[in-house]
Chains A and B, each alone.
Chain A
Amino acid sequence: MKNSSPFIHDARSTSHIMRLVIFALLPGALAEIYFLGWGVLINIVLCSVYALSAEAFVLKLRDRPVKPTLSDNSALLTGILIALAIPPLLPWWMSLVGVWFAIIFAKQLYGGLGFNPFNPAMVGYVLLLISFPIEMTAWLPAAELAQQQPTLLQTIQLNFLGATSNGLSLHDFRLLADGYTMATPLDESKTAFSLGLMTTEITQDPRFSPNLSSWLGLNISFLIGGLYLLFNRIIHWQIPVSLLASLFLCASIFHTFDNELFLPGWIHLFTGATMVGAFFIATDPVSAATTPKGRLIYGASIGFFIVIIRLFGGYPDAVAFSVLLLNIATPTIDHYSKPKVYGTDDGGSKNA
């Protein structure tokens, strides 16, 4: 094999790509720390350690080389993605469960990098969401609304002990200045709609718009990182573009249909996990569709399902569910979207 051509290569390696993706997550991560506090940073550190240790553990069991595999940075990326997806003050052992499940069950038991049919980070996230629904939706309010913000030390205490040294619990930090508990804008509006409120009432609530703007900032930060990936040709344009377009289009259709019952498309575009999902989650090459046409179908379907689940499902956000749903469909999409081979009228599979 050594003497087989070609003998030159493009310089970019798999570990380099993973590193660049992690680098592109920086703006989003920094924004999340800014808007949601120290908990995010602690989660990033914890989840990275969990991910690497889980990967090393399974590799040892499988009798595979540990160091070269760890240095492909894929486990690290999974850990960081989970850290950015979970609420900032999630107890340490819950993130441990999520990350370990992602790495051990969703990734390594299938054979490691490249063999996992599902996006490991999303498997871990969904496991947590289903197992600990209350903790997993306990987000902190935006800094300007909060009654008090935990300091770094308080965050560590909350994370590991469940309470600060002066007896404050997570609940105390979730209270707004007026004693109201805050959820994410998507969660908030979902509850409001179920109580019979209208779009105007929800958006005119003085607490809604500062909260929304922090999520807007978050999404724009992830968008910046995503564009960096796009322009460095680390991800292809098809998935993010088709996902965002379809999400915006579907949400807008509902909004036009009844603008008092459904939030406008742009809010869907810039809240929740939309941007991180479009650029960092759905583009995971291993579990996504790979043909150009397939990517368009894949991305558009995810966008569609995000809207449907957000509007009619039981959960406020739906990126993880939609991505996992389409992961199942990937082999089929790929099979039917093969490009037309040179010299044939079709994919060529019929005349074989």
Chain B
Amino acid sequence: MLKKNDTINFVDFISHAKFDIPGGIHPRQYKSMSNQRAITSLAPAKEFFLAENAKPGNHGKRLVEIGDRVLAGQKIFESFIDQIENNTHSPYDGEVTEITHRKLGHASGLSMPGICISRISQNHTASLPPVKNWQQADPTDLIKRIHEAGIVGLGGAAFPTHVKLNSSEKKIETLIINAMECEPFITCDDVLIRERASEILQGSLITAQIVGASQIMIGIEDNKPEATNALAEQISKHLQQTRENNISSPKIQIIVAETKYPSGGEKQLIQLLTGQQVPQNKYPAALGILVQNIATLFAIYDAVCNGQTLTHRLVTLTGNLVEKPGNYWIAFGTPLSHIISKLGIPTNKISKIILGGPLMGTAIDKTSKECFSELNIPTQKSTNCIIFNSDKSDIMVSSPNDVHDACIRCGECEVVCPASLVPQQLYWFAKSEQWEKLEQNNLRDCIECGACSYVCPSQIPLVSYYRFAKSEIKHLKTRKKKSELAKQRFDNRESRLARIKTEREKKRKKTAEARMLTAANKNKDPDGKKSAIQAALQRVKDKKEEQS
């Protein structure tokens, strides 16, 4: 434990990772291309397309109609806090011009509904009141704020952050901060830490308070010494302050790990820092761990302390066609065509645009049919990097071949698989469509990092096979579920019909019996005359008795 007057050394809270992950690859980094420049902002586009992020079965609703005026940071699509979806806000003052479907740069070419906003001014001021003194705030209020601001995981998966913070399977002890950024080319996290370390630390402390974590572990690769230093300075300042003012603070550690892909995967990072493995089919919360990306933490800080809704993010713009590769603040929904023209990239030279990194991103090819309309594709919350490459590229960014060589079972893929799967066996099973075998061989534990495809000497697009197999298995499962449901419905209907039939039968029997009974009674006194006479006699008799 540190005493009050000890000076704080970096070595007190910086250490090297004690654990390792199996597998992994060391591709060329290409990071120095884009991490040498300070953060800049790109002049905003004229028009934005904001996807509604409404998956089937979701409950969110659109709050604006065509022609509506919207303000910067105004909520235009609302989600519910208990749903896996998130709010969307307008990045600038503007007008809703169109509500339509557009492609989002998904590998499948999927179109999504969304809202077109035409920008009126450059204004993008905060729209929510800042939370003063978050240290005293109620965690649920802070989660509400994070939901309100539309914050999602900015590491790439874009999973709504409020859902992650709300899941209370087990008490969270450790907040792990993912600053690994292990994919080549991408440097937005690196540069963000260099320039906004203090804000990121604040965001981490807010998050730790929300979940009640007693320790914060920051995982960072050893290729980011500047960022590590920036964080360390802020942490030492923070520790100094807490000690002087006698405030309790979570234990904070920076853990530097070897540069290796994919050590930034959530499960891999947990293993690297704690030596623990997330049990199969479980979330990190099962271990009392929450993992957040540093860009997300910055967004949390911004939402809580500045009242800023999430409308922009830092995006790495790089590739051999970008004259000044670097990191730019870009509003969500900015069309690629705008970025291309602002960067001055000649469209005819582009052979490939990659959204995300070269190992897990999606590509837009020159050979695609709708090349020019596709440049309409907007950036999204998950777009952390865009790579623009020409044909004559010294940078090796190649497409998987259409025809690949045969698998020779060399086993290189097994060596690099971080999940310790046997990729080549999964490939044989996927190719022969043996879905059950794939299930048995844990295909679901594949994180699609692409390390296996990267090393495959036969250049087999292994991940494509796995994605296909996964979707096929999912499809089969839903179909099975559906048919089971249908069968159940059919059985229910059959038994219901049978029940109604027997009930009706019973009823009919009953009425028939009753009818028989009255009929029998009627037979004894066919037209009821006898009883009528008797009744009359009785009445006379009664009267007489009264009179006497």
A interface vs B, CB < 8 Å? Answer: 1-17, 68, 72, 74, 112-115, 236, 285-286, 288, 290-292, 295, 334, 338-344, 347-349, 351-352
Residues of B within 8 A of A72 (CB): 405-406
* CB–CB A7/B398 < 8 A: yes
Chain A contacts of B124 at CB under 8 A? none
A9 to B267, Cβ gap below 8 A?
no
Q: Which residues of A contact B445 (CB under 8 A)?
A: 341-344, 348
Q: Which residue of chain B has the shortest Cβ distance to A343 in the bound complex? A: B280
In the complex, which residues 362-415 of chain B have their Cβ closer than 8 Å to any Cβ of chain A? Answer: 362-365, 367-368, 396-400, 402-403, 405-411, 414-415
Please tell me which one of the listed residues A4, A12, A351 contacts residue B457 in the complex, with CB atoms under 8 A apart.
Answer: A12
- B459 interfacial by beta-carbon distance below 8 Å: yes
What are 11 A-B contacts with C-beta separation under 8 Å? A2-B399, A3-B362, A4-B463, A5-B359, A6-B453, A114-B409, A285-B411, A286-B409, A342-B445, A343-B445, A344-B279
B83 at the interface (CB under 8 A from A): no
Q: Are the CB atoms of A342 and B107 closer together than 8 Å?
A: no
Residue of B nearest to A339 (CB): B420
Report A-chain residues with C-beta under 8 Å of the C-beta of B359: 5-8
**A1-B402, A7-B398 as given contacts; A343 in contact with B279, CB under 8 Å:** yes
Residues of B at the A interface (CB closer than 8 Å) are 22, 25, 27-28, 107, 184, 267, 271, 277-282, 352, 354, 356, 358-365, 367-368, 396-400, 402-403, 405-411, 414-415, 418-422, 424-425, 439-442, 445, 450, 453-459, 461, 463-464, 467
Dominant SS at the A interface? loop
CB distance from A46 to the nearest CB of B (A): 26
* Nearest-Cβ distance from residue B389 to partner chain A, whole angstroms: 9
Cα–Cα distance between A4 and B453 once the two chains are bound (Å): 11
Which of B27, B358, B400, B441 is within 8 Å of A348, CB to CB?
B441
**A352 to B439, Cβ gap below 8 A?**
yes
Smallest CB separation, B414 vs chain A (Å): 7
Chain B contact residues, majority secondary structure? loop
Q: How far is the CB of A297 from chain B (nearest CB, A)?
A: 14
B453: chain A residues at CB < 8 Å are 6, 9
Contact between chains at B408 and A8 (CB < 8 Å): no
- Tally inter-chain residue pairs, CB-CB below 8 A: 177
List of B residues within 8 angstroms of A349 by Cβ: 440-442
Q: Is the CB of B405 within 8 A of A2?
A: no
Asked if residues A341 and B408 are in contact (CB atoms below 8 Å), the reply is no
For A291, the chain B residues whose CB sits under 8 A away are 411, 414, 422
For the complex, give the distance between the alpha carbons of A344 and B419 in Å.
Answer: 10
Contact indicator A348/B402 (Cβ below 8 Å): no
State whether B411 touches A9 (Cβ < 8 A). no
Complex Cα distance A113/B422, Å? 20
Picked from A14, A115, A295, the residue with its CB within 8 Å of the CB of B458 is A14
Is A7 a contact partner of B363 (Cβ separation < 8 A)? yes
By the criterion CB–CB under 8 Å, are A17 and B457 in contact?
yes
Report the Cα distance A11→B441, complex, angstroms: 29
**Interface pair B184/A113, CB less than 8 Å apart:** no
A3–B441 contact, CB under 8 A?
A: no
Q: List the B side residues contacting A4 at CB < 8 Å.
A: 107, 362-363, 400, 461, 463-464, 467
A341 contact set on B, CB distance < 8 A: 280, 419-421, 442, 445
Minimum CB–CB distance from B6 to chain A (whole Å) comes to 40
Q: State A53–B403 Cα separation when bound (angstroms).
A: 23
- Closest B residue, CB atoms, query A283: B410
Q: How far is the CA of A339 from the CA of B367 in the complex (A)?
A: 41
Task: Name the CB-closest residue of A to B277.
Answer: A343
* Contact between chains at B414 and A290 (CB < 8 Å): yes
- Chain A contacts for B455, CB-based, 8 A: 9-10
Contact among B27, B409, B461 for A290, CB-based, below 8 A: B409
In the bound complex, what is the Cα–Cα distance between A344 and B441 (angstroms)?
12
Complex CA distance for A95 and B271, rounded to whole angstroms: 55
Cβ–Cβ contact A114 & B408, under 8 A: yes
Docked Cα-Cα span, A16 to B456, in Å, equals: 12
Top 6 nearest A-B pairs (CB, nearest first) are A6-B450, A114-B406, A352-B440, A343-B280, A6-B359, A290-B411
- Assembly CA distance A236 to B461 (angstroms): 23
Q: Which of A8, A74, A114, A340 contacts B398 (CB 8 A)?
A: A8
Chain A residues with Cβ under 8 A from B457's Cβ? 10, 12-14, 16-17
- Having A8-B358, A13-B459, one finds 17 other A-B pairs with CB under 8 Å, namely A4-B362, A5-B360, A7-B352, A7-B354, A7-B361, A7-B398, A9-B398, A9-B455, A17-B408, A113-B405, A113-B408, A285-B410, A334-B422, A338-B422, A343-B280, A352-B440, A352-B441
Closest to B185 in A: A8
Contacts of A10 in B (CB 8 A): 25, 27, 454-455, 457
Q: Which of B399, B414, B418 has a CB less than 8 Å from the CB of A342?
A: B418
Smallest CB gap from A74: residue in B: B408
CB distance from A81 to the nearest CB of B (A): 15
Are A2 and B402 in contact, with the CB atoms below 8 A?
yes
Complex Cα gap A339–B421 (Å): 7
Q: Which residues of B contact A3 (CB under 8 A)?
A: 107, 362-365, 368, 399
Q: Which chain B residues border A5 with CB–CB below 8 Å?
A: 107, 356, 358-363, 450, 463
